Amino acid sequence: MVNIDTVYQKVLVFANKEQRGYITPQEFNIFANQAQLEILEQYFYDLNQFDRGNDNNTEYSDMVTLIQEKIGALTKIHAWPKIVGNKGWHALPADCYKIGTVTKAHEEIDEITYSESRKYLKSRFTSFNKSTNAYVVQNWDPNTNTSIRGIQCYPDDADMEGGVRMSYVKIPEPPKWGYFVVGNKALYDTSIYDPINNPTGKTTHFELHEAEETELVYKIVKYAGLAMRRDDIAKGGQGLESLQTQQEKQ
């Protein structure tokens, strides 16, 4: 987790807040969410790049391990119990960003494409059975004939003992610098939003790994500069961001 007030205060310094409010809390929250999602998406591009071409496996410089650790901060487990008559269909959690590992009856199963599933189902030599399981990501629930994102497991009979489990990377909660107004000035509200324990909380911290604080600051400064049509701020943020990226990939 990255403290949102720490990031906000640093962004204000870079954006020269003293010269009459270049960036409002509302604008900051929009930029913050965009920056967080951009960083999350970049993890998977970087992971693919380093996994293919980087042989550095020193304890503290193995980039694949470091990226996986950052992804781990957003990884969750979801389980569907054994359900009779669901035709092997399982709707994905609303916060699912990317699927990790899917297991059925405690055994990992492979993902295949929809066209592959059609081909396998048509052939008696490749038909799915209890020892050959797979799943397809699709946007159609065969039970209700409605459009919804989920996984279709094969064979499509009732799930075996243990049901189906899935690891996945979640969509992080939109960050929010909560505030209250005193004398026309926005002051930081430390109450943390929690849908169960504190639904009236105003603030939501970044859910990214702590190591992403600097990257978040640079990206938000860049977005703020673009919004304010201040090329100096935008280019400064872009330059710092590029330098940070180069250092990480050396």
Instruction: Give domain status of residue 48, yes or no.
Output: no
How buried is 73 (Cβ within 10 angstroms: 0-12 exposed, 13-18 middle, 19+ buried)? Answer: middle
For the cut 50, the answer to whether the pLDDT of residue 20 exceeds it is no
Residue ending a domain, among 170, 186, 215, is 170
Q: Specify whether 216 is located in the same domain as 186.
A: yes
Instruction: Give domain status of residue 57, yes or no.
Output: no
Instruction: Give domain status of residue 107, yes or no.
Output: yes
Instruction: Give domain status of residue 60, yes or no.
Output: no
More confident residue, 61 or 209: 209
Task: For residue 113, give both structure tokens.
Answer: 């494409």
pLDDT band at residue 244 under the 50/70/90 scheme: low
pTM over 0.75: yes
Q: Specify whether 186 is located in the same domain as 220.
A: yes
More confident residue, 221 or 241: 221
Q: What is the pLDDT of residues 165-186, one digit of tens each?
A: 999 999 999 999 999 999 888 9
Q: Specify whether 84 is located in the same domain as 137.
A: yes
Query: Could you tell me the end-to-end alpha-carbon distance of the chain, in angstroms, rounded to an integer?
Result: 26
Q: What is the pLDDT of residues 88-125, one digit of tens each?
A: 889 999 999 999 999 987 889 999 998 888 887 777 66
Question: 79: which residues sit within 8 A by CB, 6+ positions away?
Answer: 163, 164, 165, 166
Q: Quick one: CA torsion of 14, 18, 21, 25, rounded to 10 degrees?
A: 60
Phi, psi of 217 (to 5 degrees): -60, -50
Q: Specify whether 118 is located in the same domain as 133.
A: yes
The parent domain of residue 99 ranges over 75-170
| Rounded average pLDDT over 8-19 | 77
Q: Is the dihedral of CA 221, 226, 232, 236 positive or negative?
A: positive
**What is the model's pLDDT at position 204?**
97
**What is the model's pLDDT at position 203?**
97
**What is the model's pLDDT at position 18?**
45
Q: Specify whether 123 is located in the same domain as 147.
A: yes
Instruction: Give domain status of residue 58, yes or no.
Output: no
**What is the model's pLDDT at position 122?**
77
| Helix, strand, or coil (residue 88) | coil
Q: Specify whether 37 is located in the same domain as 124.
A: no
For the cut 70, the answer to whether the pLDDT of residue 32 exceeds it is yes
pLDDT band at residue 53 under the 50/70/90 scheme: low
